[in-house]
Structure 1
Amino acid sequence: MKEKRYDYLIVGAGLFGSVFAHEMTNRGKKCLVIDKRDHLGGNVYCEEKEGINVHKYGAHIFHTNDKKIWDYVNQFATFNNYINSPLSLSKGKLYNLPFNMNTFYQLWGTKTPQEAKKIIDEQIAQYGVKSPQNLEEQALSLVGKDIYETFIKAYTEKQWGKKATELPAFIIKRLPVRYTYNNNYFNDIYQGIPIGGYNVIINGLLDGVDTKTGVDFFEDRIELESLADKIVYTGKIDEFFGYKHGYLEYRSLRFEHELHDIENYQGNAVVNYNDASYAFTRIIEHKHFEFGKQDKTIITKEYPENWDRSKEAYYPINNSRNQEIFKKYKKESQQLEGVIFGGRLAEYRYYDMHQIIASSLVKVEEISKIKPQ
């Protein structure tokens, strides 16, 4: 029998695959990482233009409460002290996010937590329902009418391409309301952006690992599978099994990048555009992630889109129909020896970056404990 050249063929050079490759290489295993895109890093890839690290696939802001994960990523990059404090443009007026005392003052002129809480509680009592049947009812029951109509309704309908009354209630499990003047979007202890962009981390993880870009696993599957003893697959799970149980659904995104010959476009890294009159949901100004002083600036407008197989899959649509289909693929994947499934597409779930890294590290530990037959 022909000896395999690699212990692991890793399909997908995003965070899950890169962490897995790094850890297994450190354990003496030989890995090959492939990706169908023309670069490594998956969705965290940054493209340098005009001295600015552009988050090519949308804003990526690292945040975690897990010191182990924070220490892990700090092996590869130095993080700055960026704090995500987005703004929200609604009906011609700018508001602070997340919902906090600054937001409530801008919305109602309230100055104390008691005043703001009284308004919210009264609106919940008036507009909320005991058993919400859709997203609109859920939001009204959590934060009342003013916050829902100003910040949630139009934005969410753009994001999902459906009316709020047609979306399931479970999409919004909770809506954080803060009765403090605190614009820090995340509650996590550790936050920041890697200085030099996320490529610094990916390059560190894949240092010494064989990689190939512009390679579509499905176009040369038999030959690629013959290269390694085992496969780590991070792509769409339904595609791996030839869509035999049906197609899983996603929401996609389209990014329009613009170079502006000015130093500062919007004064903040992230501004949400709530109103339906704007087709995009937000504008990212990348230089503010790293406190840039460049003469020019680059912005990205983010447009949610209906997904089809020609587009990138970003957000799984976790309704009951898709979960039933996914269960069939998951069951089949668990019975398949020699293939490890990991990451948001292979697990059909939304992951933050720290969660993907943790998931990959756990998988490596699980495999490393298994004794060879």
Structure 2
Amino acid sequence: MKYDYLVVGAGPFGSIFAYEATKRGKRVLVIDKREHVGGNLYCKPIAGINVHWYGAHIFHTSNKSVWDYVNQFATFNHFTNAPLANYKGTLLNLPFNMNTFNRLWGVNTPEQAKQIIAEQRKNYGVSNPKNLEEQAINLVGLDIYEKLIKGYTEKQWGRPCTELPAFIIKRLPVRYTFDNNYFTDIYQGIPVGGYNVLFDKWLKDIDVTLNADYFENRTMYEGMAEKIIFTGMIDQYYDYEFGELEYRSLRFEHELLESDNYQGNAVINYTDRETEFTRIIEHKHFEFGQAPKTVITREYPQDYTKDVEPYYPINDALNNEIYEKYRQKAEKEAHVIFGGRLGQYRYFDMHHIIENVLKLVDTEFDNQ
């Protein structure tokens, strides 16, 4: 066998593992079915702008070791995620905060906002919420639910809120301050030059094969390495033995505009049900760009089918039960390790991925 490890998937999990394994003298081959490395973090340069080709990605974490790790490979800017919601032409701040409440109700103090939300909970809430709609109203009242949650959520999941389980919104951030920062993590930013800078460092001098579908040449690839790091869909790896896991997918519409500034903000969510897309991303604002043109992306949620990319695991009770069967089988594998969103069937943020792969590196190489 030519390699110690075959890494299936050149996203962050696979790329960091490949980098760390190579550092320890291991021979690694990375393959990916796309024409580029970087997974969903890939940035496509257009007109001097690093376009987040698969949707907005803002790095954030409170884990200092993760922050220190990524800063070895790139300089991060001070971008702060402060998205807006567009509800039928009215712009409101996200997450829900005093700026939102002032715009909705004309209130100026936290106490005034709390009173309105409490009154709406009393009038419209239920003691034992059985679906997402009831749960959301219990948490934030009717106005916020109808204007900022209902339409967006139904587009995202492709079904009415009354048919979605309550646990999807266990809690919603409600802040009684005038702070528009979406995240509460200590560290936040975007790599200067885009996320490709990270992957260029991680995969430098490592054998990488692109446009390579593992399942089209499975026998060949399995014969090339002692061990496999698999970051694709775990149910596909096992030929759907216990059933197909469900996902939601996305479609992106990218547009280069002659304007130098389309919407004045990196991310604006469209929360009414009638607008088909869920948000518009204007990429230059991630890096405070001064390019004379701009690139925007409209993001459309869609059902997952086998001819599109899976983005979001649907971690309801039924799917989690199916995944557990795959997980138990995977635990017995001596030569295959599953990682990432698809391999572990869970929605991970970037910092979670890095935490997980560095733990794997410690486990895999601690006795070597």
Partner deviation per Cα, 1:111-163 (whole Å, 9 max, x = no partner): 00000011111111221222210000000110010110110001100000100
| Helix, strand or coil at the partner of 1:201 | helix
Instruction: Please tell me the residue identity of whatever aligns with 1:211.
Output: V
Instruction: Please tell me the residue identity of whatever aligns with 2:300.
Output: Y
Q: Residue 370 of structure 1: CA displacement?
A: 4.7
In the alignment, is residue 222 of structure 1 matched against residue 226 of structure 2?
A: no
The root-mean-square deviation of aligned C-alpha atoms, in Å, is 0.8
1:38-49 equivalences under 5 Å are 38-49=35-46
| Match of residue 354 from structure 1 | 351
Whole-angstrom CA distance in 1 between matches of 2:80 and 2:261:
18
Whole-angstrom CA distance in 1 between matches of 2:167 and 2:328:
24
Q: Residue 369 of structure 1: CA displacement?
A: 2.6
| Helix, strand or coil at the partner of 1:224 | helix
| Match of residue 147 from structure 1 | 144
Alignment counterpart, residue 235 of structure 1, candidates 232, 236, 256: 232
Alignment counterpart, residue 266 of structure 1, candidates 263, 266, 269: 263
Q: Return the TM-score normalized by structure 1.
A: 0.98
| Helix, strand or coil at the partner of 2:302 | strand
Whole-angstrom CA distance in 1 between matches of 2:46 and 2:256:
9
In the alignment, is residue 304 of structure 1 matched against residue 286 of structure 2?
A: no
Whole-angstrom CA distance in 2 between matches of 1:322 and 1:191:
32
Q: Residue 297 of structure 1: CA displacement?
A: 0.4
Percentage identity across paired residues of the two chains? 61
| Match of residue 328 from structure 1 | 325
| Match of residue 103 from structure 2 | 106
Whole-angstrom CA distance in 1 between matches of 2:331 and 2:111:
52
Partner deviation per Cα, 1:276-325 (whole Å, 9 max, x = no partner): 22100000000000001111100000000011111100001111111111
| Match of residue 313 from structure 2 | 316
| Match of residue 90 from structure 1 | 87
Instruction: Please tell me the residue identity of whatever aligns with 1:20.
Output: F
Q: Residue 91 of structure 1: CA displacement?
A: 2.4
Whole-angstrom CA distance in 1 between matches of 2:365 and 2:71:
24
Structure 1 residues without counterparts, runs of 5 or longer: none
Instruction: Please tell me the residue identity of whatever aligns with 1:305.
Output: Q
| Helix, strand or coil at the partner of 2:341 | coil
| Helix, strand or coil at the partner of 1:322 | helix
| Aligned residues between the structures | 368
Whole-angstrom CA distance in 1 between matches of 2:340 and 2:302:
22
Alignment counterpart, residue 362 of structure 2, candidates 330, 343, 365: 365
In the alignment, is residue 31 of structure 1 matched against residue 24 of structure 2?
A: no
| Helix, strand or coil at the partner of 2:185 | coil
Structure 2 residues without counterparts, runs of 5 or longer: none
Instruction: Please tell me the residue identity of whatever aligns with 1:277.
Output: E
Q: Which runs of 4+ in 1 moved over 2 A?
A: none
Alignment counterpart, residue 80 of structure 1, candidates 65, 68, 77: 77
| Helix, strand or coil at the partner of 1:344 | helix
Q: Residue 170 of structure 1: CA displacement?
A: 0.7
| Helix, strand or coil at the partner of 2:137 | helix
| Match of residue 193 from structure 1 | 190
Alignment counterpart, residue 249 of structure 1, candidates 246, 250, 261: 246
Instruction: Please tell me the residue identity of whatever aligns with 1:292.
Output: G
